[in-house]
Structure 1
Amino acid sequence: MMSQTRFVRAFLSRPQRLLPTSALGIALLAYLALPLYSGEPLQAFDTFNALQFFARLAPLVLGLGLTMFAGEFDLSLVGTYALGGMLAVQYGGAHWVIGIAVALAAGTVIGAVQGTIVARFNIPSMPVTLGTYIALLGLTKAISGGLSKTYDNISVTLWVDRQIAVVLSPRSLLVLAAFAVVGLFLGCSRWGREIRAIGSDRRASRASGVRTDRLLIGLFATSGVLAAASGALLDFSLGAANPDPGTQPLILAAVGALLGGVSLAGGRGSVAGLLAGALTVSLLAQIVTAAGLPSYLAQLFYATLLLLIVAVEAPGLRRVWTRSSVRLHSRRSAALARAIDSRKAAS
């Protein structure tokens, strides 16, 4: 009982470390135990599919998580994701580099404009990015006429999904490289600390000399680039661009970021944790697919995960648990003291 109490106390005090590792460990064990449910052994292709889903989702988790470090929330990710894919397909027919360049440029501009509005005018990011999300979906549908657009460069479609070392692909390797670059950049420079300082207390960080405006603009620009790149690579893989991907990518990105240990209030999180959160959601998605579970069960499962994470983040729960832990410790100490006194009296 004591060890469980200590674990829960440590979990609540350091969720940025324990939550990602615990979630990934549980998801990995469930994935390895999948044959017990399905009766079919795991194949290398199952892991390949999980990492392909990871390549689609992880850039969104990384982009969303970076803005959450600073206490913001980029709802426009899915709009940039859809627009980036549509632009890449439309302008990358002759050469994929042109399509990628146009998509990344659009993502950079969209993110930088949003960051400028949020930073310079001190406007909350939620309404700004929500409005941008709606506008981008409308723009994407206007470009495509409301219809999916086919990508005819088959060689690129085959290349981005080519199997490397059985379970990897160029898409998944590029995403892992993005995590490595961002992780090294934030870990080896002062910007990582300053971004978390903005999320903890923006006024105090500004008073201490942190260039909050530049950092926020950079964060939103990075988020836009990651979302556009993810949409472009996915649409190259599918051979078509969908003007409306729905809200599921944003929901799963939020689940992945929160499972990665990012705080809803900002000021906490790591790139390694975001990587673990994205891998966790990808493994869970593959489990649902391989087990043949209905889609509504998956949605209910993700909703339950979100509620649990929000409950862990609630300050009230922390206070209740701290008080109960202190009371339990006091009772045990008192009981131990009485036992010692009775032994002394008996002797």
Structure 2
Amino acid sequence: MAPSTKLAPLIKPLPAHAAEAGQRFDLARYRDLSLLPVLLVLGIIGYAVSPAFLTADNLLGVGQQATELSLLVLAGALILIVGRMDLSLESTIGVAPVIAVWLVLPDHGARFNGLGLFPGWTAIPLCLLIGAAIGAINGFLILKLRLNGFIVTLGALTLLRGLQTAISEGQSIINLPSSFRYLGSASWLGVPSAIWICAVLFLLGGSALAWLRHGRALYAIGGNAEAARAAGIRVDRITWIVLILGGTLAAFAGILYTGHYGSIAADQGNGWIFQVFAATVIGGVSLNGGRGTLFGALTGVLTLQLVVNVMTLAGVPALWNQFLNGAIIIIALVISRFTSGEKQE
């Protein structure tokens, strides 16, 4: 039976590349696994630098510190795969917890006073709703008003950062509902709960991308949105859902970060978007959309965290971390350019 005309835009390019299909698949798999040797080398270097590197306390500490960034990377990877970009994720991780706490804490004459409009147990649901609302508004501006996504999310980043500073009055918030502290500080079976949560979310997200029809649609949209639309995929609806999910995950990252450190920092999340892009790109997620896996993105996060940990154990000043992140981003872009198989225009 002849293929449906709706699928023609998707099927048309395949004959030209049919001979390379197996090779392309193998290369894609290699990119997803390419950081595993790097992680092994970092482990060897770390042990050579300090025997404390391979202790359970150190490794669990690295995992705990990676959880918040991991959720931002999970959100960023999904958005990049669908062919979009959201710079406001780094502000959402800070402003969503601040607004949630502001809504539930009563005015008791402390340094930070809230409105007391909702009971304390609603802090986490409110935080997640705020993150979802930020993603929904971004999606409306990008998909309905057809504004440039980079400029919209850059503006949202600045706006939300200013809102966070205004509400918190530029100071850290230490008076937090007990529910906010639990997830980021509790341990389950001797492992921080945040690590369990991240592992489950990455497993669910990776399974959805691999096996669910709507998950596979993300790759189709990111690869060729017009062809996906011609094939009957609701491009705008799915993209909007991904943006909402991204905002929700960023807010959840804010909850874990807040619980881990016991306070909401005035600059929480500042500069994190660069680490998100570094982790996703070195993990094999394409900035052009339609390519990459969550497993690769996760190995990117672990690589960044292990590099910082090894540098710390070696006594390298933390002031070099920002330089290192910038260098990793540039190197990752170069590697991505030459491994993507795309031709120079």
TM bucket normalised to smaller: 0.7 to 0.9
Q: Check if 1:31 corresponds to 2:43.
A: yes
Which of the numbers 232, 251, 271 marks the counterpart of 1:209?
Answer: 232
Q: What's the secondary structure of 1:241's corresponding residue?
A: coil
Runs of at least 5 residues in structure 1 that lack an aligned partner in the other structure: 1-9, 322-347
User: How many angstroms apart in 2 are the aligned matches of 1:39 and 1:52?
Assistant: 20
Matched with 2:148 is 124
1:149-168 equivalence runs, <5 A: 149-153=173-177, 157=181, 160-166=184-190, 168=191
Matched with 1:86 is 98
1:68-217 equivalence runs, <5 A: 68-91=80-103, 97-153=121-177, 157=181, 160-166=184-190, 168-217=191-240
* Higher-Rg member (1/2): 1
Residue 105 of structure 1: CA displacement? 0.3
Q: Deviations over 1:263-295 (max 9, x none)?
A: 111110112222222222222232222222122
The verdict on how the C-alpha distance between 1:126 and 1:162 changes in structure 2, with shifts beyond 3 A counting, is same
- Number of aligned pairs? 311
Matched with 2:78 is 66
Residue 195 of structure 1: CA displacement? 1.1
Q: Check if 1:45 corresponds to 2:69.
A: no
Structure with bigger helix share is 1
**Scaled by the length of structure 1, what TM-score is found?**
0.80
8 Å contact kept, 1:16–1:273: no
Matched with 1:248 is 271
The percentage of aligned residue pairs carrying the same residue is 28
Q: Deviations over 1:94-150 (max 9, x none)?
A: 976411111100011110111122122333311010111111111111211121111
Matched with 1:54 is 66
Q: What's the secondary structure of 1:174's corresponding residue?
A: helix
Matched with 2:299 is 276
Q: Deviations over 1:149-184 (max 9, x none)?
A: 113456863663234444x21111111111122222
The verdict on how the C-alpha distance between 1:295 and 1:211 changes in structure 2, with shifts beyond 3 A counting, is same
8 Å contact kept, 2:73–2:297: yes
8 Å contact kept, 1:69–1:266: yes
The verdict on how the C-alpha distance between 1:13 and 1:146 changes in structure 2, with shifts beyond 3 A counting, is same
Residue 237 of structure 1: CA displacement? 2.0
**Scaled by the length of structure 2, what TM-score is found?**
0.81
Matched with 2:109 is none
8 Å contact kept, 1:78–1:227: yes
User: How many angstroms apart in 1 are the aligned matches of 2:197 and 2:88?
Assistant: 22
The verdict on how the C-alpha distance between 1:243 and 1:43 changes in structure 2, with shifts beyond 3 A counting, is same
Residue 68 of structure 1: CA displacement? 0.4
User: How many angstroms apart in 1 are the aligned matches of 2:31 and 2:339?
Assistant: 19
The verdict on how the C-alpha distance between 1:102 and 1:159 changes in structure 2, with shifts beyond 3 A counting, is closer
Matched with 2:10 is none
The verdict on how the C-alpha distance between 1:137 and 1:36 changes in structure 2, with shifts beyond 3 A counting, is same
User: Which region of structure 1 is more displaced relative to structure 2, 82-91 or 309-318?
Assistant: 309-318
Q: Deviations over 1:75-101 (max 9, x none)?
A: 000111111222344456697641111
Q: Deviations over 1:299-346 (max 9, x none)?
A: 33322222222112326995899xxxxxxxxxxxxxxxxxxxxxxxxx
Letter in 1 for 2:46: L
Which of the numbers 282, 285, 289 marks the counterpart of 1:266?
Answer: 289
1:304-315 equivalence runs, <5 A: 304-314=327-337
The verdict on how the C-alpha distance between 1:203 and 1:156 changes in structure 2, with shifts beyond 3 A counting, is closer
The verdict on how the C-alpha distance between 1:194 and 1:38 changes in structure 2, with shifts beyond 3 A counting, is same
User: How many angstroms apart in 2 are the aligned matches of 1:317 and 1:272?
Assistant: 18
User: Which region of structure 1 is more displaced relative to structure 2, 172-181 or 219-228?
Assistant: 172-181
User: How many angstroms apart in 1 are the aligned matches of 2:94 and 2:276?
Assistant: 15
8 Å contact kept, 1:89–1:241: no
User: How many angstroms apart in 2 are the aligned matches of 1:73 and 1:19?
Assistant: 21
User: How many angstroms apart in 1 are the aligned matches of 2:280 and 2:37?
Assistant: 16
